[in-house]
Chains A and B, each alone.
Chain A
Amino acid sequence: MIALSGIEKAFGPNRVLRGVDLTIDTGTSMVIIGGSGTGKSVLLKCILGLVTPDAGTIRLDGQDVREGPRDAFLARFGMLFQGGALFDSLPVWQNVAFRLLRGEQKRPKAEAREIAVEKLRRVGLKPEVADLFPAELSGGMQKRVGLARAIAAEPEIIFFDEPTTGLDPIMAGVINELIREIVTEMGVTAMTITHDMSSVRAIADHVAMLHAGVIQWTGPITEMDETSDPYVQQFIHGRAEGPIEAVR
Protein backbone atom coordinates (compact mmCIF):
# COMPACT_ATOMS: atom_id res chain seq x y z
CA MET A 1 0.00 0.00 0.00
CA ILE A 2 1.22 3.48 -0.87
CA ALA A 3 0.13 6.15 1.61
CA LEU A 4 0.74 9.84 0.98
CA SER A 5 0.17 12.25 3.81
CA GLY A 6 0.35 16.04 3.67
CA ILE A 7 2.65 16.19 0.65
CA GLU A 8 3.68 19.72 -0.21
CA LYS A 9 6.00 20.94 -2.96
CA ALA A 10 6.75 24.43 -4.21
CA PHE A 11 8.98 25.62 -7.05
CA GLY A 12 9.92 29.13 -6.03
CA PRO A 13 6.69 31.02 -5.37
CA ASN A 14 4.62 28.39 -7.22
CA ARG A 15 3.07 26.03 -4.62
CA VAL A 16 2.25 23.03 -6.79
CA LEU A 17 1.26 20.55 -4.07
CA ARG A 18 -0.41 21.95 -0.96
CA GLY A 19 -1.04 18.93 1.21
CA VAL A 20 -1.86 15.82 -0.77
CA ASP A 21 -3.37 12.92 1.18
CA LEU A 22 -3.96 9.74 -0.79
CA THR A 23 -3.90 5.99 -0.26
CA ILE A 24 -3.41 3.41 -3.00
CA ASP A 25 -4.22 -0.12 -1.91
CA THR A 26 -2.03 -3.02 -2.98
CA GLY A 27 -3.14 -4.64 -6.22
CA THR A 28 -5.44 -1.80 -7.26
CA SER A 29 -5.20 0.60 -10.15
CA MET A 30 -5.42 4.24 -9.12
CA VAL A 31 -5.76 6.92 -11.78
CA ILE A 32 -5.05 10.52 -10.88
CA ILE A 33 -6.81 13.04 -13.08
CA GLY A 34 -6.45 16.79 -13.23
CA GLY A 35 -5.68 19.59 -15.62
CA SER A 36 -2.28 20.36 -17.10
CA GLY A 37 0.11 21.91 -14.60
CA THR A 38 -1.76 20.75 -11.51
CA GLY A 39 1.21 18.76 -10.22
CA LYS A 40 0.26 15.21 -11.19
CA SER A 41 3.73 14.38 -12.51
CA VAL A 42 5.38 16.11 -9.56
CA LEU A 43 3.36 13.92 -7.18
CA LEU A 44 4.48 10.81 -8.98
CA LYS A 45 8.11 11.96 -8.96
CA CYS A 46 7.86 12.68 -5.24
CA ILE A 47 6.95 9.05 -4.59
CA LEU A 48 9.93 7.83 -6.61
CA GLY A 49 12.29 10.30 -4.95
CA LEU A 50 13.03 12.13 -8.22
CA VAL A 51 11.64 15.26 -6.57
CA THR A 52 12.00 15.86 -2.84
CA PRO A 53 8.78 17.03 -1.19
CA ASP A 54 8.97 20.08 1.08
CA ALA A 55 6.66 18.49 3.65
CA GLY A 56 4.66 15.33 4.26
CA THR A 57 5.39 11.63 4.37
CA ILE A 58 5.22 8.85 1.81
CA ARG A 59 4.94 5.31 3.08
CA LEU A 60 5.24 2.11 1.10
CA ASP A 61 3.81 -0.85 3.01
CA GLY A 62 4.11 1.18 6.19
CA GLN A 63 7.76 2.16 5.73
CA ASP A 64 8.87 5.71 5.04
CA VAL A 65 10.31 5.71 1.52
CA ARG A 66 13.24 7.89 2.61
CA GLU A 67 14.48 5.10 4.86
CA GLY A 68 16.08 1.83 3.77
CA PRO A 69 18.20 0.99 0.73
CA ARG A 70 17.21 3.04 -2.31
CA ASP A 71 18.08 0.42 -4.94
CA ALA A 72 15.84 -2.14 -3.27
CA PHE A 73 13.05 0.44 -3.11
CA LEU A 74 13.37 1.37 -6.79
CA ALA A 75 13.57 -2.29 -7.81
CA ARG A 76 9.93 -2.63 -6.73
CA PHE A 77 8.86 -0.04 -9.33
CA GLY A 78 8.42 0.08 -13.07
CA MET A 79 7.58 3.29 -14.86
CA LEU A 80 6.25 4.27 -18.26
CA PHE A 81 7.30 7.84 -18.99
CA GLN A 82 5.18 10.30 -20.94
CA GLY A 83 7.54 10.49 -23.92
CA GLY A 84 8.83 6.94 -23.52
CA ALA A 85 12.23 8.18 -22.24
CA LEU A 86 13.96 5.43 -24.18
CA PHE A 87 17.75 5.61 -24.34
CA ASP A 88 18.63 6.72 -27.88
CA SER A 89 22.05 5.12 -27.85
CA LEU A 90 20.80 1.62 -27.03
CA PRO A 91 18.87 -0.81 -29.24
CA VAL A 92 15.32 -1.60 -28.21
CA TRP A 93 16.10 -4.90 -26.48
CA GLN A 94 18.78 -3.28 -24.31
CA ASN A 95 16.31 -0.56 -23.38
CA VAL A 96 13.80 -3.18 -22.30
CA ALA A 97 16.38 -5.29 -20.48
CA PHE A 98 18.25 -2.30 -19.02
CA ARG A 99 17.69 -3.34 -15.40
CA LEU A 100 18.51 -6.97 -16.24
CA LEU A 101 21.88 -6.09 -17.75
CA ARG A 102 23.33 -4.33 -14.70
CA GLY A 103 23.01 -4.02 -10.95
CA GLU A 104 21.57 -6.54 -8.53
CA GLN A 105 19.13 -8.04 -11.04
CA LYS A 106 21.85 -8.64 -13.62
CA ARG A 107 21.39 -11.74 -15.81
CA PRO A 108 23.52 -13.27 -18.56
CA LYS A 109 23.17 -11.26 -21.77
CA ALA A 110 21.41 -14.03 -23.71
CA GLU A 111 18.86 -14.53 -20.94
CA ALA A 112 18.24 -10.78 -20.65
CA ARG A 113 17.66 -10.58 -24.39
CA GLU A 114 15.28 -13.51 -24.28
CA ILE A 115 13.26 -11.82 -21.53
CA ALA A 116 13.27 -8.55 -23.48
CA VAL A 117 11.96 -10.25 -26.63
CA GLU A 118 9.27 -11.99 -24.58
CA LYS A 119 8.18 -8.67 -23.02
CA LEU A 120 8.16 -7.04 -26.45
CA ARG A 121 5.92 -9.84 -27.68
CA ARG A 122 3.67 -9.27 -24.65
CA VAL A 123 3.13 -5.66 -25.71
CA GLY A 124 2.45 -6.65 -29.31
CA LEU A 125 5.84 -6.06 -30.92
CA LYS A 126 7.63 -8.54 -33.13
CA PRO A 127 11.12 -9.88 -32.22
CA GLU A 128 12.61 -7.99 -35.20
CA VAL A 129 11.96 -4.74 -33.34
CA ALA A 130 14.47 -5.80 -30.68
CA ASP A 131 17.48 -4.75 -32.73
CA LEU A 132 16.11 -1.42 -33.93
CA PHE A 133 16.97 1.87 -32.23
CA PRO A 134 14.28 4.02 -30.57
CA ALA A 135 14.58 6.71 -33.27
CA GLU A 136 13.44 4.12 -35.84
CA LEU A 137 10.11 3.52 -34.05
CA SER A 138 6.77 5.31 -34.29
CA GLY A 139 5.30 7.06 -31.24
CA GLY A 140 2.97 4.14 -30.52
CA MET A 141 5.80 1.61 -30.79
CA GLN A 142 7.94 3.71 -28.45
CA LYS A 143 5.14 3.65 -25.88
CA ARG A 144 4.94 -0.12 -26.19
CA VAL A 145 8.70 -0.44 -25.75
CA GLY A 146 8.45 1.85 -22.70
CA LEU A 147 5.71 -0.40 -21.37
CA ALA A 148 7.83 -3.50 -22.01
CA ARG A 149 10.71 -1.85 -20.10
CA ALA A 150 8.39 -1.01 -17.23
CA ILE A 151 7.35 -4.65 -16.80
CA ALA A 152 10.67 -6.33 -17.72
CA ALA A 153 11.89 -6.85 -14.16
CA GLU A 154 8.47 -7.96 -12.86
CA PRO A 155 7.88 -4.97 -10.57
CA GLU A 156 5.26 -4.89 -7.80
CA ILE A 157 4.20 -1.33 -8.61
CA ILE A 158 3.95 0.35 -12.02
CA PHE A 159 3.55 4.07 -12.68
CA PHE A 160 2.14 5.32 -15.96
CA ASP A 161 2.73 8.98 -16.76
CA GLU A 162 0.27 10.18 -19.42
CA PRO A 163 0.40 6.84 -21.27
CA THR A 164 -1.70 7.94 -24.25
CA THR A 165 -0.41 11.48 -24.81
CA GLY A 166 0.45 12.09 -28.45
CA LEU A 167 -1.20 8.92 -29.76
CA ASP A 168 -4.12 8.64 -32.17
CA PRO A 169 -7.38 7.38 -30.59
CA ILE A 170 -6.99 3.86 -31.89
CA MET A 171 -3.43 3.49 -30.66
CA ALA A 172 -4.46 5.14 -27.37
CA GLY A 173 -7.16 2.48 -27.02
CA VAL A 174 -4.65 -0.28 -27.72
CA ILE A 175 -2.26 1.07 -25.07
CA ASN A 176 -5.09 1.43 -22.54
CA GLU A 177 -6.15 -2.17 -23.11
CA LEU A 178 -2.56 -3.36 -22.81
CA ILE A 179 -2.10 -1.53 -19.53
CA ARG A 180 -5.33 -2.93 -18.12
CA GLU A 181 -4.41 -6.47 -19.19
CA ILE A 182 -0.90 -6.25 -17.79
CA VAL A 183 -2.02 -4.75 -14.49
CA THR A 184 -4.63 -7.49 -14.02
CA GLU A 185 -2.37 -10.29 -15.23
CA MET A 186 0.61 -9.30 -13.05
CA GLY A 187 -1.52 -8.31 -10.07
CA VAL A 188 0.52 -5.16 -9.59
CA THR A 189 -0.36 -1.92 -7.89
CA ALA A 190 -0.73 0.71 -10.61
CA MET A 191 -0.78 4.47 -10.49
CA THR A 192 -1.58 6.35 -13.66
CA ILE A 193 -1.72 10.06 -14.23
CA THR A 194 -3.70 11.30 -17.18
CA HIS A 195 -6.26 13.78 -18.39
CA ASP A 196 -7.53 11.39 -21.04
CA MET A 197 -10.97 10.18 -19.88
CA SER A 198 -10.89 7.11 -22.13
CA SER A 199 -7.72 6.03 -20.27
CA VAL A 200 -9.42 6.63 -16.93
CA ARG A 201 -12.38 4.44 -17.83
CA ALA A 202 -10.17 1.69 -19.27
CA ILE A 203 -7.51 1.55 -16.56
CA ALA A 204 -8.94 2.71 -13.24
CA ASP A 205 -10.25 0.83 -10.23
CA HIS A 206 -10.12 4.08 -8.26
CA VAL A 207 -9.89 7.69 -9.33
CA ALA A 208 -8.48 10.72 -7.55
CA MET A 209 -8.80 14.25 -8.83
CA LEU A 210 -5.92 16.63 -8.14
CA HIS A 211 -6.72 20.31 -8.31
CA ALA A 212 -5.18 23.39 -6.69
CA GLY A 213 -2.53 21.25 -5.02
CA VAL A 214 -4.89 18.94 -3.12
CA ILE A 215 -6.99 15.85 -3.83
CA GLN A 216 -10.44 17.32 -4.51
CA TRP A 217 -12.21 13.99 -4.78
CA THR A 218 -11.36 10.31 -4.67
CA GLY A 219 -13.47 7.21 -5.06
CA PRO A 220 -14.11 4.05 -7.08
CA ILE A 221 -14.41 4.45 -10.85
CA THR A 222 -18.03 3.24 -10.58
CA GLU A 223 -18.89 6.33 -8.54
CA MET A 224 -17.08 8.86 -10.70
CA ASP A 225 -19.96 9.64 -13.05
CA GLU A 226 -22.49 9.89 -10.22
CA THR A 227 -20.49 12.10 -7.88
CA SER A 228 -21.88 15.57 -7.25
CA ASP A 229 -18.39 17.03 -6.90
CA PRO A 230 -18.44 20.03 -9.26
CA TYR A 231 -14.71 19.78 -10.02
CA VAL A 232 -15.00 16.16 -11.17
CA GLN A 233 -18.17 16.84 -13.14
CA GLN A 234 -16.62 19.79 -14.95
CA PHE A 235 -13.45 17.83 -15.70
CA ILE A 236 -14.98 14.57 -16.93
CA HIS A 237 -17.47 16.39 -19.14
CA GLY A 238 -14.90 18.88 -20.39
CA ARG A 239 -17.01 21.94 -19.61
CA ALA A 240 -15.55 25.42 -19.81
CA GLU A 241 -18.00 26.63 -17.13
CA GLY A 242 -17.45 25.55 -13.54
CA PRO A 243 -15.21 25.94 -10.50
CA ILE A 244 -12.05 25.14 -12.50
CA GLU A 245 -10.97 28.31 -14.23
CA ALA A 246 -10.51 27.82 -17.96
CA VAL A 247 -8.13 30.15 -19.74
CA ARG A 248 -9.64 31.33 -23.02
Chain B
Amino acid sequence: MSVLAPVAATGRLVLASLAMLGRVTIFAARATSHVFRPPFYGREFLQALMQIGWYSLPVVGLTALFTGGALALQIYAGGSRFNAESVVPSIVAIGMVRELGPVLGGLMVAARVASSIAAEIGTMKVTEQIDALTTLSTDPMKYLVAPRVLAATLSVPVLVAVGDSIGIWGGYLVGVARLDFNAATYLKNTVDFLEFWDVASGLVKGAVFGFTIAVMGCFHGMHSGRGAQGVGRATKLAVVSASVLILAANYVLTEVFFSA
Protein backbone atom coordinates (compact mmCIF):
# COMPACT_ATOMS: atom_id res chain seq x y z
CA MET B 1 0.00 0.00 0.00
CA SER B 2 1.33 3.43 -0.96
CA VAL B 3 2.19 5.86 1.82
CA LEU B 4 -0.07 8.33 0.03
CA ALA B 5 -3.09 6.04 0.29
CA PRO B 6 -4.47 7.69 3.46
CA VAL B 7 -4.07 11.13 1.85
CA ALA B 8 -5.86 9.92 -1.28
CA ALA B 9 -8.65 8.43 0.84
CA THR B 10 -9.00 11.70 2.75
CA GLY B 11 -9.07 13.61 -0.53
CA ARG B 12 -11.79 11.36 -1.91
CA LEU B 13 -13.82 11.84 1.24
CA VAL B 14 -13.45 15.62 1.10
CA LEU B 15 -14.38 15.72 -2.59
CA ALA B 16 -17.40 13.48 -2.02
CA SER B 17 -18.51 15.65 0.90
CA LEU B 18 -18.15 18.84 -1.14
CA ALA B 19 -20.05 17.27 -4.03
CA MET B 20 -22.86 16.27 -1.65
CA LEU B 21 -22.89 19.80 -0.15
CA GLY B 22 -23.17 21.22 -3.66
CA ARG B 23 -26.03 18.89 -4.58
CA VAL B 24 -27.93 19.72 -1.38
CA THR B 25 -27.38 23.46 -1.89
CA ILE B 26 -28.63 23.35 -5.48
CA PHE B 27 -31.62 21.25 -4.38
CA ALA B 28 -32.44 23.73 -1.60
CA ALA B 29 -32.15 26.67 -4.02
CA ARG B 30 -34.43 24.93 -6.54
CA ALA B 31 -36.93 24.07 -3.80
CA THR B 32 -36.97 27.69 -2.63
CA SER B 33 -37.45 29.03 -6.14
CA HIS B 34 -40.41 26.69 -6.69
CA VAL B 35 -42.06 28.01 -3.52
CA PHE B 36 -42.37 31.42 -5.19
CA ARG B 37 -43.16 30.37 -8.78
CA PRO B 38 -46.57 29.13 -9.98
CA PRO B 39 -48.32 26.78 -10.26
CA PHE B 40 -49.01 26.49 -6.54
CA TYR B 41 -50.54 23.34 -5.09
CA GLY B 42 -52.68 24.62 -2.20
CA ARG B 43 -54.19 21.26 -1.27
CA GLU B 44 -50.77 19.63 -0.99
CA PHE B 45 -49.55 22.61 1.10
CA LEU B 46 -52.46 22.31 3.53
CA GLN B 47 -51.93 18.54 3.83
CA ALA B 48 -48.24 19.11 4.54
CA LEU B 49 -49.14 21.79 7.10
CA MET B 50 -51.36 19.30 8.92
CA GLN B 51 -48.80 16.50 8.76
CA ILE B 52 -45.82 18.60 9.80
CA GLY B 53 -47.40 21.18 12.09
CA TRP B 54 -50.56 19.88 13.66
CA TYR B 55 -49.58 16.24 14.13
CA SER B 56 -46.18 17.21 15.62
CA LEU B 57 -47.83 19.22 18.40
CA PRO B 58 -48.12 16.34 20.93
CA VAL B 59 -44.51 15.25 20.63
CA VAL B 60 -43.16 18.82 20.74
CA GLY B 61 -45.46 19.70 23.63
CA LEU B 62 -44.47 16.69 25.74
CA THR B 63 -40.79 17.25 25.04
CA ALA B 64 -41.08 20.88 26.10
CA LEU B 65 -43.12 20.05 29.21
CA PHE B 66 -40.60 17.58 30.60
CA THR B 67 -37.62 19.69 29.53
CA GLY B 68 -39.03 22.78 31.29
CA GLY B 69 -39.63 20.77 34.46
CA ALA B 70 -36.17 19.21 34.45
CA LEU B 71 -34.58 22.58 33.71
CA ALA B 72 -36.28 24.11 36.77
CA LEU B 73 -34.98 21.30 38.98
CA GLN B 74 -31.42 21.60 37.60
CA ILE B 75 -31.25 25.40 37.92
CA TYR B 76 -32.65 25.21 41.43
CA ALA B 77 -30.10 22.57 42.42
CA GLY B 78 -27.22 24.51 40.83
CA GLY B 79 -28.41 27.91 42.02
CA SER B 80 -28.78 26.76 45.64
CA ARG B 81 -24.99 26.29 45.82
CA PHE B 82 -24.58 30.06 45.81
CA ASN B 83 -27.99 31.14 47.11
CA ALA B 84 -29.35 32.02 43.66
CA GLU B 85 -32.49 29.88 43.66
CA SER B 86 -34.54 32.92 42.67
CA VAL B 87 -33.15 32.88 39.14
CA VAL B 88 -35.08 29.70 38.32
CA PRO B 89 -38.06 31.41 36.56
CA SER B 90 -35.96 33.73 34.42
CA ILE B 91 -33.35 31.11 33.43
CA VAL B 92 -36.05 28.56 32.60
CA ALA B 93 -37.78 31.11 30.39
CA ILE B 94 -34.64 32.35 28.65
CA GLY B 95 -33.24 28.83 28.26
CA MET B 96 -36.47 27.55 26.79
CA VAL B 97 -37.14 30.33 24.27
CA ARG B 98 -33.57 30.89 23.15
CA GLU B 99 -32.17 27.36 23.00
CA LEU B 100 -34.06 24.35 24.27
CA GLY B 101 -37.43 25.13 22.72
CA PRO B 102 -36.13 25.59 19.16
CA VAL B 103 -33.40 22.92 19.31
CA LEU B 104 -35.32 20.13 21.03
CA GLY B 105 -38.48 20.99 19.10
CA GLY B 106 -36.48 20.97 15.88
CA LEU B 107 -34.85 17.65 16.70
CA MET B 108 -38.17 16.04 17.58
CA VAL B 109 -39.76 17.32 14.36
CA ALA B 110 -36.68 16.13 12.43
CA ALA B 111 -37.10 12.64 13.86
CA ARG B 112 -40.80 12.60 13.08
CA VAL B 113 -41.07 14.56 9.84
CA ALA B 114 -37.76 14.22 7.96
CA SER B 115 -38.08 10.44 8.24
CA SER B 116 -41.69 10.38 7.07
CA ILE B 117 -41.02 12.76 4.15
CA ALA B 118 -37.97 10.74 3.03
CA ALA B 119 -39.84 7.43 3.35
CA GLU B 120 -42.90 8.72 1.49
CA ILE B 121 -41.03 10.36 -1.38
CA GLY B 122 -38.49 7.50 -1.50
CA THR B 123 -41.30 4.96 -1.83
CA MET B 124 -42.89 7.08 -4.53
CA LYS B 125 -39.60 7.07 -6.39
CA VAL B 126 -39.10 3.32 -6.07
CA THR B 127 -42.65 2.61 -7.26
CA GLU B 128 -42.27 4.98 -10.25
CA GLN B 129 -44.83 7.45 -8.88
CA ILE B 130 -42.32 10.28 -9.37
CA ASP B 131 -41.91 9.27 -13.03
CA ALA B 132 -45.69 9.08 -13.31
CA LEU B 133 -45.99 12.64 -11.99
CA THR B 134 -43.54 13.84 -14.63
CA THR B 135 -45.38 12.08 -17.46
CA LEU B 136 -48.56 13.75 -16.21
CA SER B 137 -46.88 17.15 -16.78
CA THR B 138 -46.45 17.76 -13.05
CA ASP B 139 -43.05 18.83 -11.75
CA PRO B 140 -42.26 16.73 -8.63
CA MET B 141 -40.26 19.65 -7.21
CA LYS B 142 -43.39 21.80 -7.33
CA TYR B 143 -45.91 19.13 -6.33
CA LEU B 144 -43.97 17.25 -3.66
CA VAL B 145 -41.05 19.38 -2.47
CA ALA B 146 -42.18 23.02 -2.50
CA PRO B 147 -45.38 22.48 -0.41
CA ARG B 148 -43.45 20.51 2.23
CA VAL B 149 -40.62 23.05 2.43
CA LEU B 150 -43.05 25.96 2.77
CA ALA B 151 -45.22 24.11 5.31
CA ALA B 152 -42.23 23.16 7.48
CA THR B 153 -40.69 26.63 7.32
CA LEU B 154 -43.95 28.20 8.46
CA SER B 155 -45.13 25.61 10.96
CA VAL B 156 -41.98 24.84 12.96
CA PRO B 157 -41.76 28.42 14.37
CA VAL B 158 -45.36 28.02 15.54
CA LEU B 159 -44.46 24.67 17.11
CA VAL B 160 -41.48 26.34 18.78
CA ALA B 161 -43.73 29.09 20.17
CA VAL B 162 -46.15 26.52 21.56
CA GLY B 163 -43.24 24.44 22.88
CA ASP B 164 -41.73 27.52 24.56
CA SER B 165 -45.00 28.24 26.34
CA ILE B 166 -45.47 24.65 27.47
CA GLY B 167 -41.82 24.42 28.57
CA ILE B 168 -42.15 27.55 30.68
CA TRP B 169 -45.39 26.16 32.08
CA GLY B 170 -43.56 22.89 32.91
CA GLY B 171 -40.95 24.90 34.82
CA TYR B 172 -43.72 26.83 36.57
CA LEU B 173 -45.47 23.62 37.66
CA VAL B 174 -42.27 22.17 39.11
CA GLY B 175 -41.28 25.53 40.62
CA VAL B 176 -44.61 26.05 42.38
CA ALA B 177 -45.58 22.47 43.24
CA ARG B 178 -42.19 20.96 43.95
CA LEU B 179 -39.82 23.83 44.83
CA ASP B 180 -42.31 25.96 46.79
CA PHE B 181 -42.06 29.10 44.68
CA ASN B 182 -44.81 31.63 45.03
CA ALA B 183 -46.93 31.36 41.89
CA ALA B 184 -47.31 35.11 41.32
CA THR B 185 -43.62 35.78 41.94
CA TYR B 186 -42.63 32.98 39.58
CA LEU B 187 -44.77 34.42 36.80
CA LYS B 188 -43.58 37.98 37.45
CA ASN B 189 -39.92 36.93 37.29
CA THR B 190 -40.57 35.03 34.09
CA VAL B 191 -42.19 37.99 32.36
CA ASP B 192 -39.82 40.65 33.73
CA PHE B 193 -36.65 39.04 32.49
CA LEU B 194 -37.87 37.85 29.09
CA GLU B 195 -37.14 40.23 26.19
CA PHE B 196 -38.71 40.37 22.76
CA TRP B 197 -35.53 39.31 20.97
CA ASP B 198 -35.22 36.22 23.20
CA VAL B 199 -38.51 34.96 21.77
CA ALA B 200 -38.01 36.25 18.21
CA SER B 201 -34.56 34.67 17.86
CA GLY B 202 -36.04 31.29 18.82
CA LEU B 203 -38.77 31.66 16.21
CA VAL B 204 -36.23 32.57 13.51
CA LYS B 205 -34.27 29.47 14.51
CA GLY B 206 -37.47 27.46 14.19
CA ALA B 207 -38.01 28.69 10.63
CA VAL B 208 -34.44 27.77 9.66
CA PHE B 209 -34.78 24.35 11.31
CA GLY B 210 -38.11 23.73 9.58
CA PHE B 211 -36.61 24.57 6.20
CA THR B 212 -33.63 22.29 6.94
CA ILE B 213 -35.85 19.38 8.00
CA ALA B 214 -38.04 19.53 4.89
CA VAL B 215 -35.13 20.00 2.49
CA MET B 216 -33.20 17.05 3.94
CA GLY B 217 -36.29 14.82 3.96
CA CYS B 218 -37.15 15.70 0.37
CA PHE B 219 -33.54 15.54 -0.87
CA HIS B 220 -32.88 12.07 0.50
CA GLY B 221 -36.32 10.85 -0.60
CA MET B 222 -35.81 12.10 -4.15
CA HIS B 223 -32.35 10.48 -4.24
CA SER B 224 -33.46 7.23 -2.61
CA GLY B 225 -31.91 4.00 -3.83
CA ARG B 226 -33.88 1.03 -5.09
CA GLY B 227 -35.95 -1.29 -2.91
CA ALA B 228 -36.73 -1.34 0.78
CA GLN B 229 -33.06 -1.01 1.65
CA GLY B 230 -32.72 2.15 -0.47
CA VAL B 231 -35.74 3.75 1.17
CA GLY B 232 -34.52 2.72 4.63
CA ARG B 233 -31.12 4.28 3.97
CA ALA B 234 -32.72 7.48 2.65
CA THR B 235 -34.86 7.71 5.79
CA LYS B 236 -31.86 7.23 8.08
CA LEU B 237 -29.78 9.79 6.19
CA ALA B 238 -32.62 12.31 6.27
CA VAL B 239 -32.95 12.13 10.06
CA VAL B 240 -29.21 12.13 10.77
CA SER B 241 -28.38 14.95 8.35
CA ALA B 242 -31.34 17.10 9.45
CA SER B 243 -30.39 16.62 13.13
CA VAL B 244 -26.73 17.45 12.63
CA LEU B 245 -27.56 20.46 10.47
CA ILE B 246 -30.02 21.72 13.09
CA LEU B 247 -27.32 21.62 15.76
CA ALA B 248 -24.77 23.25 13.46
CA ALA B 249 -27.23 25.93 12.33
CA ASN B 250 -28.17 26.56 15.97
CA TYR B 251 -24.56 27.33 16.84
CA VAL B 252 -24.14 29.65 13.84
CA LEU B 253 -27.41 31.48 14.57
CA THR B 254 -26.56 31.83 18.25
CA GLU B 255 -23.20 33.36 17.26
CA VAL B 256 -24.96 35.75 14.90
CA PHE B 257 -27.73 36.74 17.31
CA PHE B 258 -26.00 36.83 20.67
CA SER B 259 -22.23 37.15 20.28
CA ALA B 260 -21.05 40.27 22.03
Interface set of A (CB-CB < 8 Å, partner B): 45, 48-50, 70-71, 74-75, 77, 79, 81-83, 85-89, 98-99, 102-104, 149
Contact = CB atoms under 8 A, between A and B. Distances in A.
Contact of B135 (A50, A86, A87): A50
B127 interface: yes
Given A83-B127, A85-B127, A103-B39, A74 B134 contact: yes
A103 B137 contact: yes
Interface in B116-142: 124, 127-129, 131-138
Max chain A CB contacts within 10 Å: which of B127, B128, B135? B135
A85 B132 contact: yes
Contacts of A49: 134
Interface of B: 39, 41, 47, 124, 127-129, 131-138
Contact of A81 (B47, B131, B137): B131
Contact of A99 (B41, B127, B128, B136): B136
A87 B39 contact: no
A85 B129 contact: yes
Nearest to B44: A89
List the 8 closest A-B pairs by CB distance, nearest first: A85-B132, A85-B128, A74-B137, A71-B137, A81-B128, A79-B135, A99-B136, A85-B129
B129 A87 contact: yes
B134 A85 contact: no
Nearest to B41: A102
A146 to B, nearest CB: 9
Contacts of B47: 89
A149 B124 CA distance: 17
Contacts of B128: 81-83, 85
B46 to A, nearest CB: 13
Contact of B137 (A45, A75, A149): A75
B137 A79 contact: no
B137 A50 contact: no
A49 B137 CA distance: 12
A112 to B, nearest CB: 13
A102 B138 contact: yes
A50 B138 CA distance: 13
B255 to A, nearest CB: 41
A33 B103 CA distance: 56
B41 to A, nearest CB: 8
A50 B134 contact: yes
22 contacts: A45-B131, A48-B135, A50-B131, A50-B134, A71-B137, A75-B137, A81-B131, A81-B132, A85-B127, A85-B129, A86-B129, A86-B132, A87-B124, A87-B129, A87-B132, A87-B133, A98-B136, A98-B138, A99-B136, A102-B39, A102-B41, A149-B136
B137 A99 contact: yes
Contacts of A79: 132, 135
Given A79-B132, A85-B132, A87-B132, A103 B138 contact: yes
Contacts of B138: 98, 102-103
B52 to A, nearest CB: 15
B7 to A, nearest CB: 26
A103 B138 CA distance: 8
